Every structure is written in structure tokens, then in C-alpha cells.
Amino acid sequence: MAKFKEAPAGAPAAQKLLNWIDNRFPLSELYNEHVGQYYAPKNFNFWYVFGSLALVVLVIQIVTGIFLVMHYKPDANLAFASVEYIMRDVPWGWLIRYMHSTGASAFFIVVYLHMYRGLLYGSYRKPRELVWIFGCAIFLCLMAEAFFGYLLPWGQMSYWGAQVIVNLFAAVPFIGPDLALLIRGDFVVSDATLNRFFSFHVIAIPLVLIGLVVAHIIALHEVGSNNPDGVEIKETPGPNGHPLDGIPFHPYYTVHDIYALSVFLILFTAVIFFAPEFGGYFLEYNNFIPADPLKTPPHIAPVWYFTPFYSMLRATTDQMVNVLCIVVALGAVLAVLKGGFGAKGKLAALVGALVAVFLLKTFDAKFWGVVVMGGAVVILFFLPWLDRSPVKSIRYRPQWHTYLYGVFVVYFLVLGYLGIQPPSDVGTLVAQVGTLFYFGFFLLMPWWSRIGTFKPVPQRVVYAAH
């Protein structure tokens, strides 16, 4: 048993209380390890505020969610009326509801920006692979949490959006119909579905999400934060053992993050008070109409943060599958003619291509659309091993890499826009090109990430006051 430390005689009551707690729980040690004496690179820029903002939005969602659950009724006959009751009769209920609905979109905005910063500066590279994997798992949980929560208002778009998405699982060969039935709990989206989604949204997924966030932060603080130069500051320690290019997270970056939080909250409250629906993107107009199983809306589309992946799903048509078959066949021919493999390697390439073409033609395009939509998220987990660039940061890569990342963002935004719009021939064609570019960006990364003239990386971080 560790020996208790006694507070100095005449110490203030607060210090005595802290000493009493430290003897029973390592509060000061945890604070110093993760805040007070956690040394972060001194060259952080504004891209590094989105992680803290995501944590703040998570707290907002949890707190507002608790208050909403106090008045919400997870019953198909009462759900929509209970939301209206919250909005009209509960004191400040409209504010809590709009904070929660706006917070969902804000969560995805800051998470998308946070992930893009990781992409720009190579924050997924060694030794931070596990930090990135935990982050991708958080993103996956967020998508599930948003999907399950989307049904709860029991409006027209909630109901029919859930109907469309759940029916996608029916496209899975052999087990699809049973899987869709298991998710719904009934043959159609009904009260049983609402109760299942409510339990997942309120209890199951938040517990997993909080655990992953804790694991993400612990893994980050174990290996240290990355920086815009991609230089490991732990490799140049000072006489006191602390990194020469590091500064304590508190007070330097707590102030940095508080300033960013102030700007964020101004924008956040502006949306809540002046445009909570945000033109129908944050709250669709059809969701202010009670769910009606007998009346289908003219156009069903998910919320904006799902639309890039939904657009990929819609882009996977029979014609797209035929194009993929041709691409696989050409790849096999090139592997045989130009690959430089041995006889066994060439045979394996041909057999693999035949199997791939057989599978593509055996199952219908709807199933492959589900695979493409899921694969667009799953492929992010493998990014640490797909990127073979000799440097981490975009600062020291060839200039055309920056343009390539820019085109990637443009295509992602275009896919998001097309996912909101009704289907059209031109839109489908553009979405197919965007889908091919999205997967090509990652699958060809082991090749293109090594091409070009790279700038020399400095031994220590480059700092410019800002």
C-alpha cells in the first residue's frame, strides 16, 4: 500500500482537499500527464482545433440528448407528437431540440475537417496508426448513431429514409432478407423498429463512442501529437527531458482552443437562432410532417453528411458493374503482358480476374452498391498502409499532390451534392466518375504517393508566430 502524502501545515482548504483526493485517486497525475505536462508541438495551426471542437460537440449532444429523452416517447403513435410537445410546450425545449439537431451536423463538419487535417499532414503514419484506426471507428460509430437517431422524430423523411436504408441490407446475398427483418424487428418500419433504434441511439452506441474517444485520446498522448511538418518532437529532447520543440498543452493550447471554441459557438448559435433548418439541409421540411406509411415523399434522400456515400450507392448501376468488369479484365491483361511476374503470378492474376468478373456478374448492382458504400468508409482504416510517401506532411510533397488532394475534396463535395438531388442521367454519370476517383485515390496511393520530387524535411519543426 502506498504511503499517504500529508498536506503542509497551514495549507489552504482546496490544497488539502486535492491532497486527500490524490491519496485515493491519481487526479493530479492524470491532469499533468494529459494536460499540464503534456508537451505538444509548438507549430500547431488552426487545423488542430477541430479535435477539441469535436469533443465539445460530443458533450453538447450528450447533455441535450439527456434532456430530450426526458420528454420523448419512443412509440410510433406518440413519437412525433412528443417532439412537437418538446418544441411548443416544454420550457426552452425548442432550444434543446435545435441544439441537438444542429449539433449533429456540426459534429460531422468538425469531424470531416479533423480527418482531412490528418490526411494533409500524415497523422495516420507510424507511430500513429492506432490513433487513426480509433478515429475511423469513431467516425463509423457517428454514422450509426446519426442513422439510428434520424428515425426518432418519426417524420416523413425519417420514416422513409429508414425504410430505404434498411431495405439495402436485403440486397446482401443469402442472409439479406433475414438481416433486414432483424434490423427492423418487423416486416416494415414500425413501432418495433422505433424502439430498437431508440435503444441503440440512446444507450448502446454512445457507450461504444465514449470508449473509443477515450482510447483515441490515450493512444494520441502515448505517441504524441503530429504537427504540420511531420517531425517527431520527441526525437530532440532538451536537458530537462521535455521536447525542445514542444510546449505544455496548458495554458498554451487550452487558450488556443478556447479562442477557436468562441468562434465556433458564435457560428453555432447563429445557426440555432436564425437558420436551424439551414435551408432544409440540417432539418428536412418533410420531417415536419408526421410519418405516413401510405404516402411516399416525391424524393427520398438522407441527411447531407451521408449523401457522398449514398451518391456512390446510386452510382453503382449495371453499366457501372460492366465497366468494372472491363477494368478488371484490362488489369489482368496488363499484369500478364507488362507485370514482370513469373508464370505462377500471371496465372494467379488471370484466375483472380476471372473470379472477380464472375462475382460482379453473379450478384446484382444493388448489392455491389451496398459494398461500394460500405467500402468507401472501410478503406479509410487501411490508409496508414496505403500511403508510401517518404514524407508525412503535404508541405514537403510535390506541388501536384496538393492539387490532387484539392480535386479529391471537390469530388467529395460534388458527390454530396448529387446525393441530395433527384437521380438524373448526367448526375449518375458524374457520380460514377467521382466514385471511381474516390476509390482510385486510395487504391492507387501506394503508387502515386511515391512519385515526384520531395522537399527535404527539417530536423526540427518550422515555427512562425501567428
Question: Any known ligand binding at 256?
Answer: no
Q: What is the pLDDT of residue 456?
A: 92
Question: What is the pTM for the complete model shown?
Answer: 0.92
Q: Report yes or no: 191 and 75 within 8 Å, Cβ to Cβ.
A: yes
DSSP code, position 381? G
According to CATH, the topology of domain 27-288 is Cytochrome Bc1 Complex; Chain C (1.20.810)
How many of the other CB atoms lie within 10 Å of CB of 259?
12
Domain boundaries along the sequence of the chain: 27-288, 304-448
Question: Any known ligand binding at 466?
Answer: no
Dist. CA 374–CA 139, nearest whole Å: 13
> What is the H or E stretch that residue 248 is in?
strand 246-248
Phi first, then psi: what are they for 41, rounded to 5°? Answer: -55, 145
- Tell me: the pLDDT tens digits for 129-149? 999 999 999 999 999 999 999
- Amino acid sitting at position 158: S
Dist. CA 159–CA 282, nearest whole Å: 16
- Tell me: the pLDDT tens digits for 389-398? 999 999 999 9
End-to-end CA distance of the chain: 49
Nearest C-alpha neighbor of 159 from the set 284, 312, 308, 310: 284
Question: Any known ligand binding at 242?
Answer: no
Contacts of 276 (CB under 8 A, 6+ apart): 98, 101, 102, 282, 283
Considering the domain delimited by 304-448, tell me its CATH architecture.
Up-down Bundle (1.20)
Dist. CA 141–CA 59, nearest whole Å: 16
Domains 27-288 and 304-448 share a fold: yes
Per-residue pLDDT tens listing for the chain (466 residues): 556 777 777 788 888 888 888 888 888 888 888 888 888 999 898 899 999 999 999 999 999 999 999 999 999 999 999 999 999 999 999 999 999 999 999 999 999 999 999 999 999 999 999 999 999 999 999 999 999 999 999 999 999 988 888 888 888 888 889 999 999 988 889 999 999 999 999 999 999 999 999 999 999 999 999 999 989 888 888 888 888 889 998 888 999 999 999 999 999 999 999 999 998 889 988 899 999 988 888 888 889 999 999 999 999 988 888 888 887 888 777 777 765 556 777 787 788 888 888 888 888 888 888 889 999 999 999 999 999 999 999 999 999 999 999 999 999 999 999 999 998 999 999 999 999 999 889 988 988 999 999 999 988 888 765 5
Q: Give how far Cα 149 sits from Cα of 186, 195, 222, 387, 426, Å.
A: 18, 11, 34, 35, 33
> What is the H or E stretch that residue 447 is in?
helix 445-448
Q: What is the pLDDT of residue 404?
A: 96
